[in-house]
């Protein structure tokens, strides 16, 4: 069976994601990074499933035929980006966190938009645009960062 360009892109993304995951979780505190990774995976899969079921997004080509969502994006690439975002903003103030969320979200939304226009990996439907993708990416980065900030404060309070 001949591999398509899309399948090769997905395989490349898996390799990059695994390498990046390995590099990112080697920094302490590992528990925080793993919690962020799994929290972001959970949130991304819920949102992706809702958007697919409502007909806003479609993933015509997938390595995992069982799922309607983009497993590689929701469970690997997006969570890895979120871990890195949290590492970069760990000691940042609110303005810096907001600015960095824009810096992290813009390339992700642009990459998704490029993939939508040039491949069969994702298709926008029902007037979905890259602006909506950008907004959802940024808001989930901020939501996970906010939750982790609360978890850290609660953890420090319990320890003291």
Handedness of CA 148, 143, 61, 6 (dihedral sign): negative
Indicate the helix (H) or strand (E) that contains 58.
strand 57-58
Whether the per-residue pLDDT at 160 is higher than 80: the answer is: no
- Whose tokens are 């040039």? That residue is 118
pLDDT in tens, 30-74: 999 999 999 999 999 999 999 999 999 999 988 877 788 899 999
* % the chain with pLDDT above 70: 98
Please give the Cα distance from 83 to 68 (Å, whole number): 25
Please give the Cα distance from 105 to 110 (Å, whole number): 9
pLDDT for the residue numbered 65: 76
pLDDT in tens, 68-111: 889 999 999 999 999 999 999 999 999 999 999 999 999 999 99
User: Where exactly are the structural domains of the chain?
Assistant: 5-159
pLDDT in tens, 114-153: 999 999 999 999 899 999 999 999 999 999 999 999 999 9
Whether the per-residue pLDDT at 2 is higher than 70: the answer is: no
């Amino acid at each position: 069976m001949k591999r398509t360009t899309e399948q090769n892109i997905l395989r490349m993304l898996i390799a990059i994601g695994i390498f990046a995951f390995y590099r990112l979780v080697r920094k302490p505190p590992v528990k925080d990074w793993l919690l962020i990774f799994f929290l972001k995976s959970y949130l991304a899969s819920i949102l992706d499933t809702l958007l697919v079921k409502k007909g806003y997004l479609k993933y015509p080509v997938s390595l995992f035929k069982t799922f309607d969502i983009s497993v590689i994006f929701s469970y690997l690439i997006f969570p890895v980006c979120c871990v890195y975002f949290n590492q970069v903003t760990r000691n940042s103030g609110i303005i810096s966190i907001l600015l960095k969320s824009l810096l992290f979200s813009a390339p992700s939304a642009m990459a998704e938009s490029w993939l939508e226009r040039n491949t069969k990996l994702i298709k926008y439907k029902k007037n979905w645009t890259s602006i909506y993708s950008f907004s959802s990416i940024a808001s989930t980065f901020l939501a996970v960062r906010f939750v982790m900030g609360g978890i850290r404060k609660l953890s420090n309070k319990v320890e003291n």
